[in-house]
């Protein structure tokens, strides 16, 4: 399949730039196009909490993966909105006594109980005397596996601890959450209780276990610089006897216990376990997406937790993907810090990129399919390069240089292409990243689109559970001289005798559009 993709890509690449709420009456929430997201850590199950459970647990700081949006706001106030429109910061008049440049950028989400994306709002540590408002637009996928009433907003402090707002302002009609703050930092949408998995694909007659997960938290008696009190989160996102006992009323499409048509759900005989087993019906229903739900009864509220199950025929194969005309695609990698060395050469770099666009099918044969963005502009994304290099031969006529740039991906040059082999149910994925950059070499300066490299993910298996709509996953990518082994084709010169060091994580989400 690698040869087939290479052949199909060659003509395209020649055209590319050459660059170095849950009431009793609520219906189940069915969202067939949702994919998997952050999975809670449930290594510790059925443990009774002790004092050590309530020690705050820091997490890693997220790394940038999106476009930076900046705006200057003065004493009259103003507004800052992320590039995808999900998060808006409202600054009232009088919050600043002079002009301030504010910025927002998407980052990898490391929050406990994370839902969806996270954002860095800067300058970090900037405080105001008048509270600002952070407003978050949530989506169907954010709600999947939980209840909109359980969603809230959290921020990470300088000690890498997460603080969660217990009572955000909820606008159900517009599907937004809002909180007040007097400072900026990293922010995430989070949830305290959820049903896992949030989405799964099963064959007819196949079973899957569902589990209610709770994320622990405890009260922080300190006020946060004049803000409303918020608890410090010690999330372990686990099951415990005390909390699991509060989950019940297991249902399928709103029917307690389910039905022969849509599948059945049976709670574990241990009522403290907070889990149940769903069994798909003997024949595929129409529609073939059903809602598995559990009601979680907290001390002062109830949440209807809903997950989606896509049911496919027993003989389901990748042939079903042959009818897909488009994929919504996002392919990204985090900070890729690497070093390449030879006898008299050193090249160090820090790369990152995210491409988001629609892949359209190109007419292909019966054994495999090919989808690509072609050379049309991508819909959104972010690419960054920060390289330094030197050549110091004994003759003394060497040079030093740098390559720097960040911003939206340039086209032609940036593109995504994918081939699916229907027989082996595997795919190859190419994602090339270019960005407007400045090349400084031996005193000369050139500004032009420059290549950051190509992610080359080949022979990736497509799990049966992902045939229902979204193919997603992640894979470690390392620096090296053999793209077939490393899954990365660097933009800089690399030879067999060079020594390579560095790695990153590549992630992909490919959602079918029929």
List domains and CATH numbers for the chain. Answer: 2-17+319-513 (no CATH), 51-312 (2.60.220.30)
pLDDT of 388 over the 60 cut: yes
Handedness of CA 403, 409, 413, 417 (dihedral sign): positive
Which token pair is 436?
Answer: 């407007």
227 versus 145: which is more confidently predicted? 145
Which token pair is 228?
Answer: 């409303």
> What's the average model confidence in pLDDT over 234-246?
61
Q: Which parts of 444-491 fold into alpha helices (H)?
A: 483-486
Q: What percent of the chain has pLDDT over 70?
A: 80
- pLDDT, tens digit (0-9, with 9 covering 90-100), for 347-364: 998 888 889 999 999 877
> What's the average model confidence in pLDDT over 24-36?
35
Which token pair is 275?
Answer: 């889990």
> What's the average model confidence in pLDDT over 40-66?
59
- pLDDT, tens digit (0-9, with 9 covering 90-100), for 250-264: 999 999 999 999 999
7: pLDDT confidence band, cut at 50, 70 and 90? very low
241 versus 163: which is more confidently predicted? 163
107: pLDDT confidence band, cut at 50, 70 and 90? confident
**Integer Cα distance of 34 and 293 in angstroms:** 16
The confidence score (pLDDT) of residue 9 equals: 42
Which token pair is 40?
Answer: 């809670």
**Integer Cα distance of 390 and 402 in angstroms:** 9
pLDDT of 231 over the 80 cut: no
**Integer Cα distance of 154 and 179 in angstroms:** 9
How many CB atoms are closer than 10 A to CB 25?
6
Q: Phi/psi zone of residue 66: left (φ > 0), alpha (ψ -120 to 50 degrees), beta?
A: beta
For the chain, give the mean pLDDT.
80
Question: With contact defined as beta carbons under 8 Å apart, do 433 and 353 qualify?
Answer: yes
- pLDDT, tens digit (0-9, with 9 covering 90-100), for 302-329: 889 999 998 887 656 787 788 888 899 9
pLDDT of 286 over the 90 cut: no
> What's the average model confidence in pLDDT over 403-417?
89
pLDDT of 3 over the 50 cut: no
**Integer Cα distance of 284 and 263 in angstroms:** 10
The confidence score (pLDDT) of residue 19 equals: 33
- pLDDT, tens digit (0-9, with 9 covering 90-100), for 482-513: 777 778 877 766 666 778 888 888 889 998 88
pTM score above 0.85 = no
pLDDT of 11 over the 70 cut: no
Question: With contact defined as beta carbons under 8 Å apart, do 495 and 315 qualify?
Answer: no
pLDDT of 397 over the 80 cut: yes
Listed range (8-12, 373-377, 408-412) with the worst mean pLDDT: 8-12
The confidence score (pLDDT) of residue 456 equals: 87
pLDDT of 207 over the 90 cut: yes
395: pLDDT confidence band, cut at 50, 70 and 90? confident
Query: Which of 419, 428, 434, 431 lies closest to 330 in space, CA to CA?
Result: 431
Q: Return the residue matching tokens 């809230």.
A: 152
pLDDT of 28 over the 60 cut: no
The confidence score (pLDDT) of residue 314 equals: 60
**Integer Cα distance of 213 and 43 in angstroms:** 11
Listed range (125-129, 169-173, 251-255) with the worst mean pLDDT: 125-129
The confidence score (pLDDT) of residue 243 equals: 53
Instruction: Characterize the bridge pairing of strands 368-372 and 415-421.
Output: antiparallel
Listed range (47-61, 192-206, 350-364) with the worst mean pLDDT: 47-61
pLDDT of 451 over the 50 cut: yes
Which token pair is 279?
Answer: 């069994």
> Strand locations in 298-414, DSSP E?
302-312, 326-341, 345-362, 368-372, 380-391, 399-407
**389 bridge partner residues:** 347, 401
């Amino acid at each position: 399949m690698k040869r087939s993709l290479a052949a199909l890509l060659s003509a395209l690449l020649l055209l590319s730039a050459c660059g170095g709420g849950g009431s009793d009456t609520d219906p189940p929430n069915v969202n067939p196009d949702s994919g998997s997201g952050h999975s809670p850590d449930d290594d510790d199950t059925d443990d009774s909490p002790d004092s050590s459970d309530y020690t705050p647990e820091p997490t890693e700081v997220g790394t940038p993966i999106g476009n930076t949006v900046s705006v200057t706001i003065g004493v009259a106030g103003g507004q800052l909105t992320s590039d995808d429109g999900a998060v808006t910061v409202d600054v009232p008049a009088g919050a600043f006594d002079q002009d301030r440049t504010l910025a927002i950028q998407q980052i990898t989400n490391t929050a406990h109980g994370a839902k969806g994306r996270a954002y860095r709002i800067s300058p970090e540590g900037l405080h105001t005397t008048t509270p600002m408002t952070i407003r978050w637009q949530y989506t169907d996928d954010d709600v999947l596996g939980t209840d909109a009433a359980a969603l809230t907003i959290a921020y990470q402090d300088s000690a890498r601890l997460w603080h969660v707002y217990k009572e955000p302002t909820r606008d159900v009609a517009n599907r937004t959450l809002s909180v007040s703050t007097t400072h900026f930092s990293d922010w995430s949408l989070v949830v305290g209780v959820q049903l896992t998995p949030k989405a799964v694909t099963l064959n007819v007659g196949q079973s899957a276990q569902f589990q209610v997960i709770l994320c622990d938290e405890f009260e922080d008696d300190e006020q946060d610089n004049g803000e409303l009190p918020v608890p410090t989160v010690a999330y372990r996102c686990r099951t415990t006897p005390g909390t699991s006992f509060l989950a019940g009323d297991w249902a399928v499409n709103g029917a307690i216990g389910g039905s022969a048509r849509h599948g059945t759900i049976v709670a574990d005989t241990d009522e403290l376990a907070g889990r149940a087993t769903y069994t798909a019906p003997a024949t595929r229903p129409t529609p073939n997406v059903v809602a598995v739900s559990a009601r979680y009864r907290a001390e002062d509220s109830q949440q209807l937790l809903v997950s989606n199950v896509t049911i496919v025929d027993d003989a389901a194969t990748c042939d079903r993907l042959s009818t897909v005309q488009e994929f919504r695609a996002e392919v990204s990698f985090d900070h890729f810090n690497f070093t390449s060395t030879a006898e008299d050469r050193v090249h160090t770099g820090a790369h990152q990129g995210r491409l988001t666009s629609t892949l359209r099918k190109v007419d292909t044969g019966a054994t495999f399919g090919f989808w690509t963005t072609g050379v049309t502009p991508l819909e959104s994304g972010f690419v960054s390069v920060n390289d330094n290099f030197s050549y110091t031969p004994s003759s003394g006529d060497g040079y030093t240089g740098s390559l720097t740039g960040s911003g939206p991906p340039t086209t032609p040059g940036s593109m995504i292409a994918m081939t699916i082999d229907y027989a082996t149910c595997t795919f190859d994925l190419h994602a090339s990243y270019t960005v407007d950059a400045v090349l400084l070499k031996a005193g000369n300066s050139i500004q032009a689109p420059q290549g950051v490299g190509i992610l080359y993910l080949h022979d990736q298996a497509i799990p049966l559970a992902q045939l229902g709509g979204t193919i997603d996953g992640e894979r470690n990518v390392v620096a090296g001289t053999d793209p077939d082994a490393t899954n990365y084709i660097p933009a800089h010169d690399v030879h067999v005798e060079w020594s390579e060091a560095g790695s990153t994580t590549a992630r992909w989400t490919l959602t079918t559009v029929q």
